[in-house]
Amino acid sequence: MTSAPSVITLDHRREIVLDEICRVARDDVRVELARETAEMLEARRHEVVAFVERQHEPAYGFNRGFGHNVGLAVDDDAELLDLLQLNLIRSHAAGVGPAAPREVVRATMLLRAASLSRGYSGVRPQVVQQIVALLNAGITPYVPRHGSVSASGDLCPLSHVALVLLGEGDVLDEQGERVPAAPALEAAGIAPLRLQMKEGLALNNGTQYLTAIGILAAEELREQLRVAGIATALGAQVMLGSAQPFRADLHERRPHRGALVVASWLRALLERSPIQDVHADKSIDGEVQDPYNLRCAAQILGSCYDLVEEARATFAVEANSVTDNPLILESDGLHIDIVSGGHFHGMPIAIKVYGLIQAMAIMARLSNMRCARYVDEARNKGLGSDLVWPEIDDGVRATSSGLMAAEYTSASLVNYIWGHSTPSHLFSVSTDAGQEDHVSMGAPLALRVLECLPRCAEVLAVELCFAAQAAAIRKVSDHFPSKAEIPAASNTVRRAFERAMQEAIELEEGRPVEVEVSIKKRYPWTEHDRRLSHPSEAVLDLIGRHFAPVTEDRSISRELGAVATLVRSGAISAAAAEFVDLDD
């Protein structure tokens, strides 16, 4: 297994991959610009500048106004042409709201540098090198979250990034507070950049803010999907469910990629599970089919898997694309063909970001349905009402709520995610005096993904705690219930008992009465029979360090939060991965 590189190189001859973007964003991995790429940028810059100066004709991005001001010509004066770029950045840095997360800003910066380094934006290598210098110095621009419609690019957030390259605007200090950028650059020995023709527009015209959020969110959601699979496996065991719906030969008959992957996870997680094996015989268990929340979990979570992977594939394309406007294309061997297009439009990314919200909404509801079943005495196969501890004194039992309220929390979180699931990309609001008459609204959509990720992790945390409580209850029980048919001989005995009870009551009360007696089968099991699979026990052990069985009512708020942190950190899937492969 090869180790990950300690430096990420921006090279126009190779593609950048999503893992590299995440490492720069989250782990502060260093970045460099390949020498050959810097030389290519320098050569192409000379070509296009010489062409514009020679033609003395309007060239958007070089000597014309921006947006609906495209009809305004700028005099052929170097200072005015540079001021055109500077004023573009200053005027468009108009965001509001709290700061975007540091990792989002760093990913945005890397993506912008990668796009410019492709050589079709007409910028000098110094522009890319300035972004790289800030990344390596750990200087993170203060970028207000709100203000982008992701249509003529993420103009507003990218302008806040660009301001810092110029020694203006604000940055985040080590405590995450907003401070002026100039002193931070001076302390790092980085001279402010002075923009020249086209470079301001090249810096703020792109989809990198939207794409950065999408990439980081998709990576976390992949982890939460694994946890959802683990929670499913725990539920299938402690709810005495069947492993049959996850068989490979069954899923080969409908081979959607996501369902195949999730079913393979579940088979691995359920392998050699004593608690499953002990009731697998239908003549003992008596259950013909599990509810959909277990039986259809591979199809449901598999669809979420497909949504996430489709999004990642699109984000990978975008990460290696050139998204500003105009682009400088080749003509007769020189990069001088200035072509206006629409690569800055965020719709290709927005629709995939919405897929991430869809995946979370589906995952959360599936988890919540299992939570509702856990606390329902009529449906949880002998786990009791609200998962109240079975060994509790009868008098105290009447005062106990167990995990009742945690199910409310799960329902509340699901509703929160649903409430953030508005398809903003379907509700375009025209901007720029109608020039930008159809915008993607991708950034507002992506910001809601960020809001929902912690909530989805909390939904899964509730379910994991329910599963841990259910497993603990099973382990102190000396039997498991059965819905298997009662033998005919037993019915004869039951009817005889009913008649005897009827006669005794009528004799005592002096009036007619009907008596109905029900018989429930249950089977004894050993301590070994009550154990789950090895990966499941490892996960339960980890959860148990943060959430102990609820043997009497207590507040579990902090514990739920701690388990949610485990979900987001990757610790839950890492515990299972000691025994099974949860890769794709």
| Domain CATH code at residue 453 | 1.20.200.10
Distance, C-alpha 26 to centroid of its chain: 15
Residue 2 placed within a domain:
no
- Residue 540 sits in the same domain as residue 518: no
Please give the pLDDT value at position 311: 98
In a 10 Å sphere around its CB, with 0-12 CB exposed, 13-18 middle and 19+ buried, how is residue 227 labelled? buried
Q: What pLDDT digit, counting tens, does each position of 423-462 carry?
A: 888 777 777 666 666 787 889 999 999 999 999 999 999 9
118 and 224 fall within a common domain: no
Q: Does 222 lie in the same domain as 326?
A: yes
Question: Is 299 in the same domain as 442?
Answer: yes
Domain's final residue, options 206, 235, 259: 206
Query: What DSSP string runs through 192-248?
Result: PP---TTHHHHHHSSSHHHHHHHHHHHHHHHHHHHHHHHHHHHHHHHTT--SGGG-H
Please report the pLDDT score of residue 66 as a whole number.
65
Are 141 and 100 within one domain? yes
What range defines the domain where residue 44 resides? 7-206
d(CA 541, CA 522): 28
The answer to whether residue 305 is catalytic is: no
| 560 domain residue, yes or no | yes
Q: Which residues touch 458 (CB under 8 Å, ≥6 apart)?
A: 409, 413, 560, 561, 564
What are phi and psi for residue 328, nearest 5 degrees?
A: -105, 105
Q: Is residue 584 part of a domain?
A: no
Alpha-carbon distances, residue 39 vs 42, 53, 62, 80, 553 (angstroms): 5, 21, 22, 27, 69
Q: Is residue 571 part of a domain?
A: yes
Residues 533, 520, single domain; the answer is no
Distance of alpha carbon 474 from alpha carbon 468, whole angstroms = 10
| Rounded average pLDDT per 10-residue block, the chain, 584 residues | 80 97 97 98 95 81 65 69 90 96 98 98 97 98 93 91 98 96 98 95 95 98 98 97 96 97 98 91 77 96 98 98 94 92 89 97 98 95 94 91 96 96 82 69 93 98 98 93 74 83 87 84 89 98 98 97 98 97 87
Judgement on whether residues 201 and 221 belong to the same structural domain of the protein: no
What confidence tens digit (pLDDT) does each residue in 308-319 have? 999 999 999 999
Both tokens of 578, joined, read 């000691």
Look up the CATH number of the domain holding residue 94.
Answer: 1.10.275.10
How much is the pLDDT for 439?
80
If asked whether residues 14 and 65 sit together in one domain, one would say yes
- Residue appearing with tokens 């089919």: 289
* Residues 175 and 239 both lie in one domain: no
How confident is the model at residue 67, as a pLDDT? 60
How many secondary structure helices (H) and strands (E) does the chain include?
23, 11
pLDDT tens by residue, 36-88: 999 999 999 999 999 988 887 777 777 766 665 655 666 667 788 888 899 99
* Residue of 60, 209, 292, 354 with catalytic role: 60
Residue 394's pLDDT is what? 87
Same domain, 515 and 552: no
> Final residue of a domain: which of 163, 183, 206?
206
Domain count within the chain: 3
Give me the DSSP letters along 23-87. Answer: HHHHH--EEEE-HHHHHHHHHHHHHHHHHHHHH-S--TTTSB--GGGTT-B--S-HHHHHHHHHH
